[in-house]
Structure formats: structure tokens, C-alpha cells
Structure 1
Amino acid sequence: MALSRFFAAVVACALLAGTPVLADEIQEINQQYRQGDLTGALDRANRFLAQNPQDAQARFLKGLILADQGKTNDAIAVFTGLTEDYPELPEPYNNLAVIYASQSKYEAARYALEMAIRAHPGYATAHENLGDIYVKMASISYEKAQALDSTNTTAQTKLTLIRNMLGEQPDKPATAKPLPDPSQPAPAR
């Protein structure tokens, strides 16, 4: 699952705490990333990090770039390092959860989202993503209940409700709903 370039820009601005020169360099790396030059942005981020290894914003951008390149293990390592060095930042936890969910590691995703919420209780994206994880976990449990007891109409009804909620066809097995793209505004309710 590709992480949003727009989300990177928003988070990059939020994490920015360096000098103006450093801020300009980060903004240029971010712009390169948003324009889709992942290789160039990663090279530039690596050069920047060689001089500023603890810069949270550059490390976060590097994690996003790696995730977009499909280098999930490397992205996990970057985001995990950020959670260790900056446990007060919810975004690295949220991005870990996105990666874990894409790998069907729902318990790990749940834990990461709970940590994001603990770090920032008002982080709406993490709350929404946690809801999605709980729905997926419920779907898996109801499917297992059905497999163990095909006469269990209660589990079947609940599974059908979840599938309808996710827009799935009732006769298809439930699949993971991708976590919402945090760069897109929530639909008006």
C-alpha cells in the first residue's frame, strides 16, 4: 500500500523543528518525493541524514519513501527507530500500522495504533485506522466461527453485516479493507 505523498508533506511540516537551512533541504526532499522521484528523494534524504542522523522529519520521509518503493522491512526499521527515539510522535506508529495491516499482521497493527493514540489521544487518523483493524479482526473471527460451526446463524449474520459495511459481496470471503489514505479529507458526515 503506497503511503500518500501529501500526507508526507503535512507530517513533514509538523515535524519540522530545525534551522531554516535544514527546513529548506527537508522541503526540497519532500517536494522531490511528492513529485514521484523516489530514488532521488531517497538519495538526498540519505545524504541529509548522514549529516543529521537524528532528524525526525528526514527519517520519517525516508520511511515513507522506502514504503512507497516496496521496501517494507527497511521502512519498518525506520519507523520503529523513530518510535524508539521519539515515542511522543504518533505518525511513525500509524505508518507502522499501515504496513503491518498490508501484511495481514493485524495484532501488530492494533498495537501500533494503540501506541499512536497513547502518544496523541486526539489523533483522529489513528482512531479511524484502529476501527478498521477491529472490523477486520472481527471479520476473521466470524469466518472462523462459521468454519467451525456452519449452522451458527448469529456469526453468519454478523459476518454479512461486516461484509456489507465494507462493500464486499456476501458470497466472497472477506478481504482486508485498506487503511484510509490520511491525506484525503474525511467525507462530510
Structure 2
Amino acid sequence: MQKFGMALTLRPILSIDQHDLSKKLCTVKDGKNMKGLLRGASILSSATIAWLTSSEVAYSSTDIKINPVYEVGELFELGIQLSYVLLLLALLGVGTFFVIRQVLVRRELDLSAKELQEQVRSGDANATELFELGAVMLRRKFYPAATKFLLQAIEKWDGDDQDLAQVYNALGVSYVRDGKIDKGIAQFEKAVKLQPGYVTAWNNLGDAYEQKKDLKTALKAFEEVLLFDPNNKVARPRVESLRERVNMYKGVPVKSKER
């Protein structure tokens, strides 16, 4: 230091006064405290990062477990939607089939009616053709026209009486559907008189009497059907229903257990 022309007065370390020493000790203590705080903050931040990391891992693992459930649910919903679509297509197919069938039947009836009407106009139609034309009009729900041609068929009829019973039955159906129940009943009775085993006419007669609220006579007509056809699907349930309505079992003695 003398070389540079500077003088430096050195003070021994032991000569440091108590006030400076206390300041330095406080500074050292503060530094230690600061280091402790920094160390605690570092530990806390490390713990926080570790907790967040573990939370993310746990969430990702949970997400991995839940995803298959979501996929199964989506597949199930897709299956239900496909089932509804297939059911709708099936219903549309069935509906289309019946519509086309009705159109074809209607067209066939129209062609038959046209041909038969031409024969009637020409005067060459016989009783059978008049009956067929009346039946076509009946199926087309032209009841006055059906009644007209069926009456003409009866006037010209020269065939078997059992076949004539079919004409009377068709005429009775035309009257009943046109709201003329009494006239229809008269035709059904003529039909079963000509052909006693004509179960279709008996069923029609029973139905007409039931519409007229004459339940007992209707029951007798349906019972006649069961005499010729015990398993008739039309007459059997009607007989059971009508028997309950007219109370046929009142006063009938019950057989003893011994008998």
C-alpha cells in the first residue's frame, strides 16, 4: 500500500465494538432466518408441485377408467337408435305392402266391375254374372248398386237352390251395411231356409239380431252355427257372451257331487 502512496490504518477484529457486533449478529440471524424461510418455501412449493402432479396422475387414471364406460354407453345408445330405425323401416315396409295390396285389389275389382257392367248393358249377362257384379259392388261398398244387381240375379236365377242361398246371404249383407237391418234379417232367413247348414248366413243372422238388441234370437242363431260347426271361431265366443247377457243359467239346478 505504501508503494501506491496510500496509508491504511488496520483495526484489529477484536476491537469491534459491541454495537457493531450485535448488528452483524442480527444480520447473520436474519440471513439464517431468510434461508430458513426460503428453504421452507422451497419445501412447500415442492410439496405443492408433487400434490398437483399426483392429482393430475390420479385424474388421468380416473379418466382412463371412465372412458370405457362412456364408450359402452355410446355404443348402447347407438344400438337403441339403430333398433328404432330398423323398426321404423319394418313398419314402413309393412304399410307399403298393404297399401300396394289394396291398390291392386281395388284395380282388380274395377276391371271386373267394368267387364261385368258391359255385359249387363249389352243384355247378355246371366244370373251368375249379375251375382258376381253385385258381389263386386258389395266389396267396393256401393251398397245400393249391389242390392240392385243381386235382386236382378235372384229374378233370373235358374240354378241350384243351395247356390241361390249365397245370393240371399249377399243381399242380406248389403241391406245390413246400408242400415236396413230388418230387410237384411229377412234375406238371411231365406238363405238358411234354402241351406240349413249355411253357417255364414247363420252368423250374419245372429249378428243382425244382436244389432237389433234381440239377444235371445241372436243367441239361438249362433247356437245353430255350433250345431254344424262346434269349433266355429265366430259363433263360440258370441254364444258365451250372449248367454251371460240373457242370464240363461238362472234357475238351472246344479248337479250333486255324487252325480
* 1:107 matched to 2:216: yes
User: 2:229 is matched with which residue: 111, 120, 133?
Assistant: 120
User: 1:97 is matched with which residue: 193, 197, 206?
Assistant: 206
Alignment-mate amino acid for residue 194 of structure 2: D
User: 1:38 aligns to what?
Assistant: 143
C-alpha displacement at 1:123, in angstroms? 1.8
C-alpha displacement at 1:39, in angstroms? 0.6
- Whose RCO is larger (CA < 8 A, sep 6+)? 1
* 1:68 matched to 2:173: no
Contact kept, 8 Å, 2:192 with 2:201, in 1: the verdict is yes
User: 1:80 is matched with which residue: 167, 183, 189?
Assistant: 189
TM-score between both structures, scaled by the size of structure 1? 0.57
C-alpha displacement at 1:121, in angstroms? 2.1
TM-score between both structures, scaled by the size of structure 2? 0.42
Of the two, which has the highest radius of gyration? 2
- CA–CA distance in 2 between the matches of 1:41 and 1:84? 22
C-alpha displacement at 1:24, in angstroms? 5.0
Number of residue pairs aligned between Structure 1 and Structure 2: 120
Contact kept, 8 Å, 1:26 with 1:57, in 2: the verdict is no
- CA–CA distance in 2 between the matches of 1:59 and 1:28? 14
Alignment-mate amino acid for residue 195 of structure 2: Y
SS class of match (1:133): helix
Q: Deviations over 1:65-119 (max 9, x none)?
A: 0111121111111111111111011111111111111122111111111111112
Alignment-mate amino acid for residue 142 of structure 2: D
Contact kept, 8 Å, 2:210 with 2:218, in 1: the verdict is yes
- CA–CA distance in 2 between the matches of 1:46 and 1:30? 12
- Alignment gaps of 5+ in structure 1: 1-20, 142-189
SS class of match (2:234): helix
User: 1:27 is matched with which residue: 132, 135, 152?
Assistant: 132
Alignment-mate amino acid for residue 137 of structure 1: V
Alignment-mate amino acid for residue 147 of structure 2: L
Contact kept, 8 Å, 2:199 with 2:225, in 1: the verdict is yes
SS class of match (1:121): coil
- CA–CA distance in 2 between the matches of 1:40 and 1:74? 16
Contact kept, 8 Å, 1:87 with 1:119, in 2: the verdict is no
Contact kept, 8 Å, 1:94 with 1:116, in 2: the verdict is yes
C-alpha displacement at 1:23, in angstroms? 5.5
- CA–CA distance in 1 between the matches of 2:134 and 2:188? 18
